[in-house]
Amino acid sequence: MTQNGKKSHSSSCDGQESSSKAQNKMWGGRFAAGPDALMERINASIDFDKRLYEQDIRGSIAHCRMLAAQNILTDEDAAAIERGLREIREEIAEGRFVFSAALEDIHMNIEARLREKIGDAAGRLHTARSRNDQVATDFKLWVRDTTDRIIAQLGAYQQALLDQAEAHADTVMPGFTHLQAAQPVTFGHHLLAYVEMAGRDRGRFADARRRANSCPLGAAALAGTSFPIDRFATARALGFDEPAANSLDAVSDRDFALEFLSAASICAMHLSRLAEELVIWSSAQFDFVRLSDGFTTGSSIMPQKKNPDAAELIRAKIGRILGAQNALMVVMKGLPLAYGKDMQEDKEALFDAADNLELCILAMTGMIRDLKANEERMHAAAGQGFTTATDLADWLVRVLNMPFRDAHHVTGRLVRLAEEQGCDLQDLTLEQMQAVEERITDEIFTVLGVDNSVASRTSYGGTAPDQVRTQIRRWRERLAEEDAS
């Protein structure tokens, strides 16, 4: 069939071609018989790739408009195709569309329905493209859309952390190393550590998005096309920076999915770390925080229980997210160029990982917003375990000009003495301290309380309340700038 002097063409030689019961009329001219039922079952992807319908239709409309602009499609056919695609999008969104496994995937399901609606003109939509570049484009669009949503969700999570950090800039708690009391910090300072992690997570997602923002559409099956298409126009229409520069790479690249999963895995790991702390902190033994009823559950047998199930599930979700990254890496590791049906396995695990990451971010944001800190318990715990020992050693260096290793030794002896006396360092008398180091004066008591210790940590990024507030202001300004850009 010709139109405008051009031969209409439907690429039927992609790497994704298969069939339905007898012959798939969409592409089955090469085959004399239909596939085995098991072949149809293993080959079909419609059960999961139907999630790409919005991106598939968006890409098809951009492709259609470009074909018309290049006089490859008539304006009449282009108008009918676009009208039909918009109607199909509405049918799917409203749940009125009937998906068919015999048509394998979202692309063929939409094209078959388009043919039912507008007739032969539907077959002209596939001119100068293949399902190989079509699915790569759809998938990139979906990952890009999801990335934008996750970046926004992480911003809301950071705001929840900042609100709590601001409320608790002066709330003293023990800081830990090896889960042993180390030095006093503020609860606000501790929460700001997770703001920093989430900031890096947002940066990773944004960086991956920038690198993924080249458009595969028009690469066709693997070698490009002989039709005079305008790939720059379709790239612009779909919000890409440029068309992918190599047709082989365009259809075989799944780096964008791997980078998304890598960023997702690191983000899930960060959420898991905070979830672990919430589990510990909300235990009766710590009693640092109270989680709301909205994110806890009860026990079927123990009426007193309030279990941190949401935090525990967030802690576990990284397993399936990291598993998705590993699965796709294994799928891609030995594939020759260009497309192989192996790559159909790129979506299902990524969809699951993205869904679970979004769920984790939203649940963690809710838990942080609802969280109530037990300030008295935190403050009392901050003084346990000789957490001001480093302050004592620093005073010996700063005031007595003692080498730090000597100061460390003197402080260790004083800790042992306090342990023997069953008291904290600040409860030792001046005479007891001078028995260990005669040059110690009563000025030492100005650095031994946990509040004094926290207030003294004034270095940039330290736990002093003024430093905490400085970092909160910095983050609020940064988030406002990022949201505005």
> Quick one: angle between helices 309-332 and 348-370, nearest 10?
150
Burial string for 33-70 (b: 16+ CB within 10 Å, else e) reads ebbeeeebeebbbbebbbbbbebbbbbbbbbbbbbbeb
Residue 126 is a catalytic residue: no
* E strand or H helix that includes residue 215: strand 214-215
Q: Give the separation between CA 262 and CA 208, rounded to whole angstroms.
A: 10
In 3D, which of 455, 383, 454 has the Cα closest to residue 425? 383
130, 299, 408, 485: the catalytic one is 299
Task: Give the contacts of 464 (CB within 8 A, at least 6 positions apart).
Answer: 454, 455, 456, 457, 458
Residue 449 CA neighbour count, 13 Å, CB half = 7
Burial string for 401-413 (b: 16+ CB within 10 Å, else e) reads ebeeeebbebbee
What tokens appear for 363 in the block? 């649940």
Residue 299 is a catalytic residue: yes
What tokens appear for 478 in the block? 């940064």
Task: Report yes or no: 193 and 187 within 8 Å, Cβ to Cβ.
Answer: no
10, 178, 292, 300: the catalytic one is 178
Task: Give the distance from CA 220 to its chain's centroid.
Answer: 31
Task: Report yes or no: 263 and 357 within 8 Å, Cβ to Cβ.
Answer: no
Task: Report yes or no: 202 and 112 within 8 Å, Cβ to Cβ.
Answer: no
Task: Name the residues annotated as catalytic.
Answer: 178, 299
